[in-house]
Amino acid sequence: SKGWYKEVIQILHAKFGLNSFRPNQAEAINETLSGQDVVVLMPTGGGKSLCYQLPALVKSGTTKGTTIVISPLISLMEDQVYHLKNLNIKAEMVNSKLDADTRSEVISTLVKGELELVYISPEMLSISRVMQMALQTMYDKHILARIVIDEAHCVSAWGHDFRPDYMALTKVKNDYPGIPIMALTATANNQVLLDIVNCARPNPLVLKQSFNRTNLLYEVRKKGPKVVNEIAEICLNYGGKSGIIYCRSKKDCETTAEKLRSHGVSAEHYHAGLDSETRSKVQKNWQESRTHVVCATIAFGMGIDKPDVRYVIHMSMPQNMEGYYQETGRAGRDGRMSKVYLFYKFGEYLNIRRMILEEQEVQRDIREHKASLLLKVMQYCENTVDCRRKQVLQYFNETFDSRLCEMKCDNCVAMRGQTVVCQDVTELAKD
């Protein structure tokens, strides 16, 4: 085996306090330490961070110096850097939220080669001359170890979370020849994957694992006028367990939380319209299980790592299957049984569709593409025959034998179940 094997295991135990690797982590680490480009497709919660955080600390690989991580959200960055510093790892970040002094301080430490990892926002990389020069200097000094593109689906206009600043990342492979690239994401259909692979050099190793979340129960319901009562009933059934309710608008978040409270559910709302202090307070209350339910827009959740979310409810249909997968994926990260509910109605589909097609600032073919992604969600909702799991996985080009669902979705129960097995997970959640 490779010369760094012992050191890798030692760091896994001593620095990260973990016993063993999860699927594909060892492969990704090995490959990047040999200097290969790697694309990692791993479900949310699968452990993508370790794939680049661990090799950043290895001294015996073929790469030396600092690992650069591009990450789309400042809150994600803060979270990770905080966590790494707690583990006594030399990590910093460079983004627009830092004041100029702190920023140049970090950059000078970086150029001296004193950091193990640095998180950089994509706009810093694409517009900051100082940043670009720093990276060039590091490259010339041979202290640029590797470039990591986290949440790599953001490079693709075909994905659900395109960020124009990420486009610059397709050319880092040319700007820094020979520096290994690692791109990671939880959501990529074939089209998005092509764009991600294009960030790496020809023929990168693509590590892909099943996206099946075996511990999630799926249910889709038609949405009626009493939807909030129905949701309140679900929440109350879970007792004090944690849940997320995704709502379409800020207004929906507020009114739903209020109605739930009137039913005796411990609920708060969260959306981009709140000031950042309130937002972090709501998040913290929920994360520490003081409030049980958050009614939120999809702004809530990225970078949140709460392991014991027992249910996720979409009060309105999501705009695409990728978003649905990612949002439902926040349930059951600890591996225990959890349930996801989706409420939909045709009229609402038409509204969302119209809104998408009327988005002025978006190119026409992209708008139409988005409408076609929405249509797939509608088809998913209306298909009451095929296993939900099979349908979700099909979207990610993964074939799934629905017998393996083991009655953990509403359709399997309706089509093949003798008795109702797909009950709420209240009983499971109690122990």
For position 42 contacting Zn ion by CB under 5 A, the verdict is no
The whole-angstrom separation of Cα 194 and Cα 173 is: 15
The whole-angstrom separation of Cα 144 and Cα 111 is: 9
The whole-angstrom separation of Cα 170 and Cα 20 is: 33
Of the two residues 186 and 267, which places its CB atom closer to Mg ion in the complex?
Answer: 186
The whole-angstrom separation of Cα 415 and Cα 412 is: 5
The whole-angstrom separation of Cα 239 and Cα 235 is: 7
Q: How far is the CB of 387 from Zn ion (least distance, A)?
A: 3
Q: Give me the residues paired with residue 92 across strands.
A: 118
For position 305 contacting ligand ADP by CB under 6 A, the verdict is yes
* Interface positions, 43-82, toward ligand ADP (CB under 6 A): 44-50
In the list 145, 183, 321, 405, the residue contacting Zn ion (rule: CB under 5 A) is: 405
* Interface positions, 312-341, toward ligand ADP (CB under 6 A): none
Q: Which amino acid is at 301?
A: G
The whole-angstrom separation of Cα 75 and Cα 64 is: 28
Of the two residues 295 and 312, which places its CB atom closer to ligand ADP in the complex?
Answer: 312
Q: Is the dihedral of CA 339, 345, 348, 352 positive or negative?
A: positive
Of the two residues 213 and 271, which places its CB atom closer to Zn ion in the complex?
Answer: 213
Binding mask 168-197 for ligand ADP (x = CB under 6 A): ------------------x-----------
* Interface positions, 368-387, toward Zn ion (CB under 5 A): 387
Torsion of CA 371, 377, 381, 385, to 10 degrees: 110
Q: How far is the CB of 158 from Mg ion (least distance, A)?
A: 20
Tokens of 122: 């994509």
In the list 21, 238, 246, 311, the residue contacting ligand ADP (rule: CB under 6 A) is: 21
Compute how many residues bind Mg ion; rule: CB under 5 A. 1
In the list 51, 54, 192, 412, the residue contacting Zn ion (rule: CB under 5 A) is: 412
Question: Which region, judged by CB under 6 A, interacts with ligand ADP, from 14-22, 190-198, 239-247, 354-362?
Answer: 14-22
What one-character DSSP code corresponds to residue 179? -
Contacting residues for 277 by C-beta, under 8 A, at least 6 apart? none
For position 330 contacting Mg ion by CB under 5 A, the verdict is no
Q: How far is the CB of 200 from ligand ADP (least distance, A)?
A: 19
Q: How far is the CB of 304 from Mg ion (least distance, A)?
A: 11
Q: How far is the CB of 317 from Zn ion (least distance, A)?
A: 19
For position 217 contacting Zn ion by CB under 5 A, the verdict is no
What one-character DSSP code corresponds to residue 271? -
Q: How far is the CB of 319 from Zn ion (least distance, A)?
A: 23
Of the two residues 54 and 409, which places its CB atom closer to Zn ion in the complex?
Answer: 409
Q: How far is the CB of 18 from ligand ADP (least distance, A)?
A: 4
The whole-angstrom separation of Cα 42 and Cα 385 is: 28
Burial class (CB in 10 A: 0-12, 13-18, 19+), 101: exposed
For position 48 contacting Mg ion by CB under 5 A, the verdict is yes
Q: How far is the CB of 44 from Mg ion (least distance, A)?
A: 7
The whole-angstrom separation of Cα 23 and Cα 366 is: 35
Of the two residues 120 and 138, which places its CB atom closer to ligand ADP in the complex?
Answer: 120
Q: Give me the residues paired with residue 184 across strands.
A: 40
Structural contact between residues 294 and 365, judged by C-beta atoms closer than 8 angstroms: no
Q: How far is the CB of 83 from Zn ion (least distance, A)?
A: 36
Per-residue burial over 404-423, b = 16 or more CB atoms within 10 Å of its CB, e = otherwise = ebebbbbbbbeeeeeeeebe
Question: Which region, judged by CB under 6 A, interacts with ligand ADP, from 18-26, 222-230, 362-370, 377-385?
Answer: 18-26
Of the two residues 185 and 297, which places its CB atom closer to ligand ADP in the complex?
Answer: 185
Q: CA nearest 68: which of 117, 4, 104?
A: 117
The whole-angstrom separation of Cα 157 and Cα 316 is: 24
Residues that bind Zn ion (CB under 5 A): 387, 389, 405, 409, 412
Residues that bind ligand ADP (CB under 6 A): 18, 21-22, 25, 42, 44-50, 186, 305
Residues that bind Mg ion (CB under 5 A): 48
